[in-house]
Amino acid sequence: MDHLPPPPSDDPAPKPASRSLSGTIGTAGAAILAFLLKFKLALLVGLKLLAPSWTFLLSLWIYVALFGWRLAVVVMLLLLAHELGHYFAFRAYGLPVRLPSFIPLLGAFTAGAAPENLEHDANIALAGPLTGMGLAAACVAIGMIAHDRFWYACADLSAFLNLFNMIPMPPFDGGRIIGALWPPLWIGGFLAFVVFAVYFHIPILFVAIIGLLGVPAMLAAWRGQVDPRAAALTFSARLRISGWYLATLLGLLLVLGRAHAALAPGSSGAPNW
């Protein structure tokens, strides 16, 4: 069969490559500019979130150097969850608050304005341990479903760290909670902290730093100086604070016990970090 020549094409001649490329770049630039203008609020929020991240990264780097990357990542995420509990509690009460800051080997803190209501102050302090308890319980549940000891180890660590933070002396969260009820109880909390530190072989430098941070508030309580907000704290509010404090302690102990039981030598050996 003879091959007939192809019919003439009606398409216009192709444009030069340079003009096509410049048009593409111009279009992309316009799109990027439009995105920046449209989402400038999101960008500002992103920059605000990244601003304090250097303390997170510094702590992470130190923990990786000391404990290895897996344990370091777990510890940092647990600390972050705890502090975000405080952060969103501040926001819930409409108070100005800064994003969490991290102190290598000492933990983290979230700075915000003090509420006028002392019960709200106690609730903000309690929000961190409650978040940590919820995270620990979730890790236990995942461990039970997945039959993975790693999740039990995460639950154990979260419950332990938050239980430690419930010691009733400043600067711990437990100190702020108990301080709303009766500050002289801080003296007993300090003794409990010393016993806790000796039993778990906590470095003396850490004990000294925590003690120095708590001394000013304890001395003020010893001298009879009372938070002026305490006068407006009702009996029912004191009962609510006490109930939440004891319930959180009990919940953390239960989760810690469940995680310990799952990590016992007879169950399947210690987790490999």
Give domain limits for the chain: 116-273
pLDDT for the residue 201: 87
Of 202 and 132, the one with more pLDDT: 132
Region of 96 (left: φ > 0; alpha: ψ -120 to 50; beta: rest) is beta
259: tokens are 């995680």
Of 79 and 266, the one with more pLDDT: 79
Residue 110: closest CA among 122, 124, 120: 124
Q: What stretch of H or E contains 253?
A: helix 235-262
Residue 97 has pLDDT above 80, yes or no: yes
Write the CA distances from 255 to 3, 137, 174, 246, 260, integer angstroms.
Answer: 83, 6, 18, 14, 9
Of 32 and 77, the one with more pLDDT: 77
User: What percent helix, strand, coil does the chain show, rounded to 5?
Assistant: 70, 5, 25
Of 63 and 19, the one with more pLDDT: 63
* Arithmetic mean of pLDDT, 9-30: 47
Of 214 and 133, the one with more pLDDT: 133
* Arithmetic mean of pLDDT, 55-84: 93
Residue 6 has pLDDT above 70, yes or no: no
pLDDT digits (tens, 9 = 90+) for 234-263: 999 999 999 999 999 999 999 999 999 999
Percent of the chain clearing pLDDT 90 (strictly above): 56
pLDDT for the residue 204: 86
Confidence of residue 27 (pLDDT cuts 50, 70, 90): low
In three-state secondary structure terms, 26 is: helix
Of 221 and 27, the one with more pLDDT: 221
Cα dihedral value 118, 123, 124, 128, nearest 10: 150
Of the given ranges (69-78, 138-147, 196-205), which has the lowest mean pLDDT?
Answer: 196-205
* Arithmetic mean of pLDDT, 152-172: 95
Answer yes or no: pTM beyond 0.85: no
pLDDT digits (tens, 9 = 90+) for 202-233: 888 888 888 888 888 888 888 888 889 998 99
Beta carbons within 10 angstroms of residue 211's beta carbon: 15
Contact, 142 vs 148, CB < 8 A?
yes
Query: Mean pLDDT in the chain?
Result: 83
pLDDT for the residue 268: 56
In three-state secondary structure terms, 109 is: strand
pLDDT for the residue 267: 67
